Structure 1
Amino acid sequence: MTEHLLRPFRPGDAPVIHELQARHAKADGADPHSTMEPPPDPERLRRAMERADWAVVAVDPSDSVAGWGSLRSWTEDDGTRVYLTDGYVAPPARRRGLGRRLLRESEAVAARLCAGHTGNGPVVLGGNASTVQPDRMALLERSGYRQVFTMVEMEHDGSPVRPRQLPDGVTVRAATIADVPALAALTARAWAGRPYFAMPDVDELRDWLSRSQLALFHVATIGERLVGLVAASRTPARIEIESVQVDPDLQRRGLAAAMLTRMLSTLSEQRGTVPIRLHTEGLDPVGARSLYERLGFQVFREYRRYRKPLSR
């Protein structure tokens, strides 16, 4: 059995990892149109690995890369500290213990980092796997992780979309960078009390708008008050509905449906052959999935989110 060495990630590893995963994309069931797990782009991959708390590559005795592992952490709004372990093992190196080794190494790093954590909330390990990754699901479950929620990726079926009427007093316009403070306030209200959520800061929201196609980033207002948003983006691989938010005072009044149908009417005219995708919570805690299904979206793939306690 080949013994792999785990060494720290180096920037030059990013294109090698990209080529490795691209080579095995078909065997992995990779989806080139995915909004949840888009094909790795070398630069995005490099940035993600460099921002991680811990990142390694697994190499064989000839220094050929066979996989990678990483750990990143954040604190959710309810005070939960999350250490998310992630990784990839190329098909030829699977079923030889490498995935289990990467998982154990990342858990050991999380335990060391956890010792210095000063918050009072719970501390957990997290792991992700999709329904086309049975080996990853089995590894997490054997290691004591339990599924806590599911994300679903959905694709529009191409059926005609009838625009819905906006609630009285609401107008819709394209977003501007000046909307960032109002978007922060809307996000805080729309997501208040939701589990598994970490509020983005103002700089992150500003960066999102600066990278967005503002003609496809619509905000709803009542007077000067921003009460909703629908943001979309277009790439050669797909059109994505990135976010839908409605102020709690306007929920259940048809605002989300009206904004989405307007956006979908625009997107359908320019979609060409690319799919329209979005993702949302599988258990439908606020009715988002049900709304999307009524508007012609169908579940394409499920992504399971696992956690287990981390002792300090």
Structure 2
Amino acid sequence: MTMPAAFTLSAFTGDADIRAIEAVRSAVRTVKPDAWMPGPDTDPASRLPYCRIARVGDAPVGYTWMDWWTERDGTRLLLLLGYVHPHWRRRGIGGHFLTWQLEAARQDPPAMDGDGPYVFGGNADIDQPDVRNLLMRAGFRLAFTAMDLECDLEETAPAPVPLPDGLVERRLGEVEHRLVHAAIEESFATSTHGYVPRTYERYRRDVADRQSDTGLWCVAWDGDEVAGVVINEKVDAGTGLTPWVAVRKRYRRRGLATALVRNGLARCSAAGLKRVRIATILENANQTVGFYERMGYREVLRRPRYRRPFDRSGVTVA
């Protein structure tokens, strides 16, 4: 497809480009209000070499960004991100972005921990078929599907239930956070769908920033050991989010996850929340989508995640 006349792609230079990025974000969010749009004002400066601002004449029409991390199995993922003003879509800009990003990452991949292979990643929600088709033409293939589900607390009317025999719930003390963090990491140790290990320092930042109301948490104890945990957080006056449901392996298949999730929903309801959201993986071997549906959750959005091998061959994305 022919690029728009007077199209330019330039490196990030400072505050003026932040204003350009904000203009693109504002336009994108008119059609996708919950769009995740990181950039130079939200992420570390190490990402700046992979930021380009697209303009047609003087008007900002899009920008690129790249994030990266090392997953549990050592895979070093390079997530290629690009955002185009809705008025300027289907004019070849997204393909131009992706071609530039693939080449730039090949020539100068970031230094990352781990010894696994570099892999390119791309995101396309189920309501973004154009993005999916662009990734597929560039050799990306579906890796797994993130699922967002929501429980209507007024409809479900959750009530607390007892824990399995021998386990008790009690409020979390300050010194016990390390045990909770260790239990979460142990529970996800065998995850094969992009799990990124979280340091204790990062866990504490998450608690301080978003999850400080531990009254919404449910922690099951076996003596001085954490058997399982459900962490809930308040997003706004009516909405809660459950970022973590973790049961250690030796406590599974005893009904603990069911009890902790139900008790967490009951606490959210008692706190005045109307709905609670959770994310999981469709392909999860534990069939977590079905589990949450039995708890009263319903599908809200599918977010397929795509990947392609890191190689040195050039690709021009049409």
**Would you say same fold, with TM above 0.5?**
yes
- State the one-letter code of the partner of 1:262: N
1:155 is displaced (CA, Å) by: 1.0
Match of 1:90 among 85, 88, 99: 85
Question: Conserved in 2, the CA contact under 8 Å of 1:55 and 1:69?
Answer: yes
Cα distance change of structure 1 residues 262 and 96 upon mapping to structure 2, 3 Å threshold: same
Cα offset, 1:117, TM superposition: 6.5
Query: Aligned-pair distance for 1:123?
Result: 1.8
Aligned to 2:217: 217
Q: Residues 69-102 of structure 1, C-alpha deviation per residue, up to 9 Å, x if partnerless? A: 1112111121211111011101111112111111
Alignment map for 1:61-100 (pairs within 5 Å):
61-62=57-58, 64-100=59-95
Query: Cα 1:11–1:191, aligned 2, differ >3 Å: closer, same or farther?
Result: farther
Within the alignment, does 1:55 sit opposite 2:43 as a pair?
A: no
Root-mean-square deviation (CA), in Å? 2.5
Q: Say which of 121, 128, 134 aligns to 2:129.
A: 134
Structure 1 equivalent of residue 206 of structure 2: 208
Closer, same or farther: CA 215–50 of 1 in aligned 2, 3 Å? farther
Shift of 1:141: 0.6
Larger mean Cα displacement after TM superposition, 193-202 or 111-120: 111-120
Secondary structure of the structure 1 residue equivalent to 2:156: coil
Segments of structure 1 that go 5 or more residues without pairing to the other structure are 32-36
Deviates more, 1:109-118 or 1:253-262: 109-118
The one-character-per-residue Cα deviations of 1:169-225 (angstroms, maximum 9, x if unpaired) are 222234354333223321232112221222111211111122212222332211111
TM-aligned CA distance change 1:78 to 1:218, over 3 Å: same
Q: Please say if residues 179 and 226 of structure 2, whose CA atoms lie closer than 8 Å, have aligned partners that are also in contact.
A: yes
Does structure 2 retain, via aligned residues, the 8 Å contact 1:177–1:206? Answer: no
Residue identity matched to 1:163: P
Matched residues in 1 for 2:189 and 2:73: separation?
10
Per the alignment, residue 165 of structure 2 pairs with 168
Q: Any stretches of 5+ residues in structure 2 without a counterpart? A: 313-318
Identity fraction in percent: 27
| In 1, Cα distance between equivalents of 2:16 and 2:179 | 40
**2:23·2:60 contact (CA, 8 Å) conserved in 1?**
no
Contact 1:152 1:282 in 2 (8 A): yes
Aligned residues: 301
C-alpha distance 24-185 of structure 1, shift in aligned 2 (>3 A): closer
Q: Do 1:219 and 1:229's aligned partners in 2 also have CA atoms closer than 8 Å?
A: yes
Cα separation, 2, equivalents of 1:217 and 1:10: 42
